[in-house]
Structure 1
Amino acid sequence: MPIVKRILCLANSKKMSGRCVAGREVLDTAPGPWIRPVSARPTEEVSEDERQYQDGSDPRVLDVIDVPLIRHQPHACQTENWLLDPGYYWTKVRQVGWAELQRYVENPATLWTNTRSTYNGANDEILQADADALPNSLVLIRIPSLELRVFAPGAAFGNPKRRVQAKDTLNKSAFYWK
């Protein structure tokens, strides 16, 4: 029998030939830990068949989902990983609104070590060894403001390819993201 965890879906992004789905466990008293269902494939992406509801639809962000799992399977800094049970459908319980989402927001002192930056970024890089020493790889934060900039970092060298970069601040630390 699988272990069924009820999660609030907070991520459903492309990964290899499948998706990366993750969320916080829904408990009666307070939000629980992060859970990221992963497959048994080497790259751990979740296929369409493995993540669908019985009606064939796909989980969406803010869905509350019962996910059948086999065991906790942390990998390096991704301590949230759980091996999914591909023999069962996922079950949508309900959907959460923005007001209820606020109780899941976290307030970490920092996202990570804040010691490395790429040429055009700020605090946007971390060494794998430093990441592996962190207690988790996922966090839901509230950003009071977000600035987007579009620029061509290689224009001076004949490369007109543009990049979109986000700038935000968390506890007085600036971040520039790709």
Structure 2
Amino acid sequence: MGDVNGAALGRDHIRLPVGKDLQVGDVVRVPLSRACPNGCHTEDWLVESGLPWEWVRRARWSEILACVENPETLWCNLGHAQGRPHSRVSLVSARFETSSLHLIKAEDVEIRVEAGHDRSNSGRRRITACFNYRGVGYGLAVTDPVSEAGFAARALGRYRIGDAILTISLSEPFTNNVGDTGRYKLVAAIITPEDYHNA
């Protein structure tokens, strides 16, 4: 979903009743204006601005499991970026993709908390989810705000989660510091049974 300018939604776009925070697994009724697919982002919709959202309920764990996909691969697996394996898709390859989201069950998930390398984000820690999926190892940046904030508050190191359900997304085109433009694979949500039932 996006705003009127086509940008991704931030926390300030969420229009739930005062005091209600949106969590992974919440079922929410959102007023939509129209579909606005953009390249491999075929799932994109424009949110109707100014209208309230309606929190309906929490999804059951069984419902989340029923939504898990089993794609052959997480898009093209040729691109690496900043030491993160299989984390980037070239713009040429992305043109042939028909979706930008997957909900998968990943094995042996480990979160790595490292000192940031990006000069524009001085002091910001780098949070990477390392995991195996169908025999391939991945190292993807974590953009889930809850998980990112939680791990950023910890000491530098590696934290084993084990098997988990992950939402994997493809970013908008991004140009890195050496001038290469591509789409990056991101972990948009981390879901474990323990965290879900304790939320």
Count of residues in correspondence between the two structures: 135
The 1:148/1:89 distance shift into structure 2, 3 A limit, reads closer
1:41 match: 5
Q: Percent identity?
A: 30
Q: Of Structure 1 and Structure 2, which has the larger fraction of its residues in helix?
A: 2
Alignment partner of 1:141 is 2:104: yes
Matches within 5 A, 1:98-137: 98-118=61-81, 120-137=83-100
Match of residue 43, structure 2, among 70, 77, 80: 80
TM superposition score normalised by structure 1:
0.65
Gaps of 5+ in 1: 1-36, 155-160
RMSD: 2.6
Q: Following superposition of structure 1 onto structure 2, how do residues 1-178 of structure 1 map, counting pairs within 5 Å?
A: 37-41=1-5, 43-46=7-10, 48=12, 50-55=13-18, 57-118=20-81, 120-150=83-113, 163-178=126-141
SS in 2 for 1:142: strand
**Partner Cα distance (2:135, 2:80) in 1:** 16
1:29-66 CA-partner distances (Å, limit 9, x unpaired): xxxxxxxx211125343562x42124463422111111
Q: Runs of 5+ in structure 2 lacking a partner?
A: 118-123, 142-199
Contact 2:4 / 2:49 at 8 angstroms: preserved in 1? Answer: no
Aligned partners of 1:120 and 1:153 also within 8 Å: no
Structure number with bigger Rg: 1
2: CA distance, partners of 1:76 / 1:119:
25
**C-alpha separation in 1, matches of 2:5 and 2:75:** 28
